[in-house]
Chain A
Amino acid sequence: NAGVTQTPKFQVLKTGQSMTLQCAQDMNHNSMYWYRQDPGMGLRLIYYSASEGTTDKGEVPNGYNVSRLNKREFSLRLESAAPSQTSVYFCASSAPGGTSGNYRGSTDTQYFGPGTRLTVL
């Protein structure tokens, strides 16, 4: 199992450009999340999807949109990138109510992808 995968790993954008960050998980998890991590800080939640077909705003949703394409995939879109969106973006997934795969951890542990390092010039 690959766990949580993210593409791309690195991206440089100019101010005003748009892009979509892709995330997929193969753990049959119901919930998926997008976080951003700025230098010297912990992660902050941008958007999450508790289950297929639902999405909700997190702590810092401005400037982003999301799509839960199916149970496996959750994408994050920047419509008009700004330098303040320079950050490392992490996708995560979890299985509320218990794991449904063979991964260690119990209950609703969130497992993270490798991250996307985005620079907006």
Chain B
Amino acid sequence: AQKITQTQPGMFVQEKEAVTLDCTYDTSDQSYGLFWYKQPSSGEMIFLIYQGSYDEQNATEGRYSLNFQKARKSANLVISASQLGDSAMYFCAMREGFYNQGGKLIFGQGTELSVKP
């Protein structure tokens, strides 16, 4: 069965430093997608970054990058130059199957990131 594991319930980072949030996944599919979402205290789910299983390069989106290590089944989120507004809960999620199949997401339990001034 597919599974997402986020082993860091909470993390602290100093403002302007980089931080890595860990995510490992388990699937037997060859086609899958990995997503990261941010959930601030206001509660909405904000899409950050996506990595497809066949994408050869690590995804980047502004200050966010995804360190994708397929053999290790890990998809860690790297936030560079942390800002106070980055304080939030971060969720890793996976979709099995190819992207044109309307895939369901399986979420990890989240990592709460706190950025210190």
Contact = CB atoms under 8 A, between A and B. Distances in A.
B52 A41 contact: no
Nearest to B95: A108
Contacts of A109: 35, 47, 50
Contacts of B35: 109-110
Interface string B76-109: 0000000000000001010100011111111111
A96 B107 contact: no
Interface in B29-44: 33, 35, 37, 43-44
Contact of A45 (B45, B100, B104, B109): B104
B103 A96 contact: yes
B44 A96 contact: no
A97 B102 CA distance: 8
Output the residue of B52, B99, B102 with the most chain A CB within 10 A.
Answer: B102
Contacts of A41: 109-110
Interface residues of B, number: 25
The A interface, classified by DSSP as helix, strand, loop or mixed, is: loop
Contacts of B109: 40-42
Output the residue of A31, A43, A111, A115 with the most chain B CB within 10 A.
Answer: A43
Contacts of B50: 105-107, 109
A94 interface: yes
Contacts of A82: none
B102 A114 contact: no
The 9 closest A-B pairs by CB, nearest first: A42-B107, A50-B102, A112-B45, A107-B99, A97-B100, A31-B102, A108-B99, A96-B102, A43-B107
A107 B93 CA distance: 15
A33 interface: yes
Interface string B1-42: 000100000000000000000000000000001010100000
